[in-house]
Amino acid sequence: MASTKTKTVWFCSHCGNEYSKWLGRCPACGEWNTFVEKEVVTGPAGKGARMSVPGEGRKPLPLKDVSTTQEDRVSLGSAEVDRLLGGGIVKGSLVLMGGEPGIGKSTLSLQLPLHRPELKTLYVTGEESVKQVKMRADRLGGVADNCLIFSETDMGTILEEAEKVAPDLMIVDSVQTMYCAAVDSTAGSVSQIKEVAAELLRFAKSSGIPVILIGHITKEGTIAGPKILEHIVDVVLQFEGENRGAYRVLRSIKNRFGSTSELAVFEMTGTGLREVANPSEMLIPMHEAGLSGTAISAMLDGNRPFLFEVQALVSSAVYGTAQRSATGFDVRRLNMLLAVLERRAGFKLGQKDVFLNMAGGLRITDPACDLAVIVAVLSSNFDMPIPADVCFAGEVGLSGEIRPVSQAARRAVEAARVGFKRIFVSSYTHFDQKPQGIEVVKVADIPALVRALFK
């Protein structure tokens, strides 16, 4: 039982799934030619075979005997990041911060210790020299006496130093550049990434030091990385947004110590990332001149209502087949909504190109956005602008009916606060209390919506 043995397994370098034999196409993610071979040690001595939370025995405990003290949290000096984490970073937790290159991961993670100088931080970088980090810190306008910069990529050395330094917070930039000498493959490979994360998790759990691990992710997700780590780490924060745009959205997609689907908005400025405490005002660009093809949605992400702009462009298809493209919105959902418009309301969009864009580089999953998408498409199609003080919150069903959405009252209140005068919702929406300062227009289906807006 105590003996160990070595066996060969195959990993898909795209999704990280493990197989016992080589395959041309990964059954899990469908990618071709992504298999890489790796030797693993199995048995009790194998790395990662055991992992437990410090201070906890290896015996099952009756649930009623488990003490429930509040988790110990450390504030990171950024109200928005603290909120995303559920009130600060939990001691001994491993947080993965993923995002495309250039989106601002290094900037944000360096900004945290600079804005919270009393925290002793160990910032490990495998991507930049200490000089480069210093230059960035100068640009961010911060001096932190307690922030140690360590340019190193060998996990053995890093963990040794970390134990000596015993910081309050450790940041590792990035998982793709680190390597463990015990694993026989290059930095950035699936096996290295997994092992680096596992080592950091062990370190965090045994020392109680919170660790922020940065991981690059590409648009297509082709580089093995954060995706395969999501189940290992405690929290996953993901940076989204167009690199060219000023706004960046940090979203919590997994959190063992708090709620998920919360988001925080940042603006990239010349001196680092600025928190946008009230996203409504930032995400709605000035739209005084009535342009057709835009509609404002009152949406809810996580627990926070805010308003943002949906843009659509409908034009005659130049080539035989019409194009449908959506940025920040599920293109299948767009196709579904267009089919509903065609079948249930008689709009002939089959020969039209339809482009949809969520302003601010946001990725939208709230179904309440359907109504604004439909309105933006119709507005562009008729070339009729929507009044600037009108917003929408409703889900659209397959038979063209408009369905109520969650927390409609909070959306209406937020819309009123930002200055909107009318909000369109489903006829079936129930308000305990009539929202103040905004007219609620109830519509049952798409024909009723068209009558109300495009007479």
Which stretches of the chain bind Mg ion, using CB under 5 A? Answer: 106
The values of phi and psi at residue 299, to 5°, are -115, 175
Return the range that interacts with ligand TYD (CB under 6 A); candidates 194-202, 267-275, 277-285, 443-451.
Answer: 267-275
Q: Which does 52 bind (CB under 5 to 8 A by kind): Mg ion, ligand TYD, none?
A: none
Which one of 139, 332, 343, 451 is in contact with ligand TYD (CB under 6 A)?
139
Helix (H) or strand (E) holding 235: strand 235-240
CA torsion through residues 365, 368, 370, 375, sign: negative
Size of the site for ligand TYD (CB under 6 A): 15
Neighbours of 22 (CB within 10 A): 10
Using the rule CB under 6 A, is 218 a contact of ligand TYD? no
Least distance CB 46 / Mg ion (angstroms): 32
Q: Which does 272 bind (CB under 5 to 8 A by kind): Mg ion, ligand TYD, none?
A: ligand TYD
Least distance CB 279 / ligand TYD (angstroms): 19
Residue nearest to Mg ion (CB): 106
CB under 8 A, 24+ apart: contacts of 16-20: 16/190, 16/194, 16/224, 16/227, 16/228
Least distance CB 270 / ligand TYD (angstroms): 5
Return the range that interacts with ligand TYD (CB under 6 A); candidates 23-31, 132-140, 284-292, 446-454.
Answer: 132-140
Least distance CB 450 / Mg ion (angstroms): 48
- Residues numbered 62-121 forming contacts with ligand TYD, rule: CB under 6 A: 99, 101-107
- CB environment 406-417: b (16+ within 10 A), e (fewer): eebbebbbbbbe
Question: What's the gap between Cα 378 and its chain centre?
Answer: 30
Least distance CB 268 / ligand TYD (angstroms): 5
Among residues 106 and 176, whose Cβ is nearest to Mg ion? Answer: 106
Least distance CB 294 / Mg ion (angstroms): 34
- Residues numbered 272-291 forming contacts with ligand TYD, rule: CB under 6 A: 272
Q: Which does 268 bind (CB under 5 to 8 A by kind): Mg ion, ligand TYD, none?
A: ligand TYD
Supply 103's token pair: 């989106």
Helical residues (DSSP H) of 187-330, grouped into ranges: 190-207, 226-229, 279-283
Among residues 137 and 393, whose Cβ is nearest to ligand TYD? Answer: 137
Least distance CB 220 / Mg ion (angstroms): 19
- Roughly what angle, to the nearest 10 degrees, separates helices 370-382 and 331-345? 60
Using the rule CB under 6 A, is 270 a contact of ligand TYD? yes
Q: Degrees (nearest 5) of the Cα angle 380, 385, 391?
A: 100
**Neighbour-count burial of 267, counting CB atoms closer than 10 A to its CB (0-12 exposed, 13-18 middle, 19+ buried):** middle
* Contact status, residue 374 vs residue 429, Cβ threshold 8 Å: no
Q: Which does 102 bind (CB under 5 to 8 A by kind): ligand TYD, Mg ion, none?
A: ligand TYD
- Peptide bond before 174: cis, by omega within 30 degrees of 0? yes
Q: Which does 176 bind (CB under 5 to 8 A by kind): ligand TYD, Mg ion, none?
A: none
Helix (H) or strand (E) holding 162: helix 155-165
Among residues 272 and 361, whose Cβ is nearest to ligand TYD? Answer: 272
Among residues 98 and 394, whose Cβ is nearest to ligand TYD? Answer: 98
* Contact status, residue 402 vs residue 396, Cβ threshold 8 Å: yes
Among residues 101 and 385, whose Cβ is nearest to ligand TYD? Answer: 101
What residues contact 98, with CB distance under 8 A and at least 6 apart?
105, 214, 215, 216, 217, 225, 226, 236, 237, 238, 239
Least distance CB 173 / Mg ion (angstroms): 6
Which one of 52, 271, 315, 325 is in contact with ligand TYD (CB under 6 A)?
271
- How many residues in total does the chain contain? 455
Q: Which does 104 bind (CB under 5 to 8 A by kind): ligand TYD, Mg ion, none?
A: ligand TYD
Among residues 103 and 349, whose Cβ is nearest to ligand TYD? Answer: 103
Q: Which does 311 bind (CB under 5 to 8 A by kind): ligand TYD, Mg ion, none?
A: none
Among residues 269 and 321, whose Cβ is nearest to ligand TYD? Answer: 269
Distance CA 83, CA 176 (A): 27
Residue 127 identity (one-letter amino acid):
E
Considering only CA atoms, give the Rg of the chain. Answer: 25
Q: Which does 14 bind (CB under 5 to 8 A by kind): ligand TYD, Mg ion, none?
A: none
Q: Look at residues 17, 54, 36 and name the one whose alpha carbon lies nearest to residue 183.
A: 36
Q: Which does 125 bind (CB under 5 to 8 A by kind): Mg ion, ligand TYD, none?
A: none
Least distance CB 216 / ligand TYD (angstroms): 7
Q: In the complex, which residues of this chain contact ligand TYD (CB under 6 A)?
A: 99, 101-107, 136, 139-140, 268, 270-272
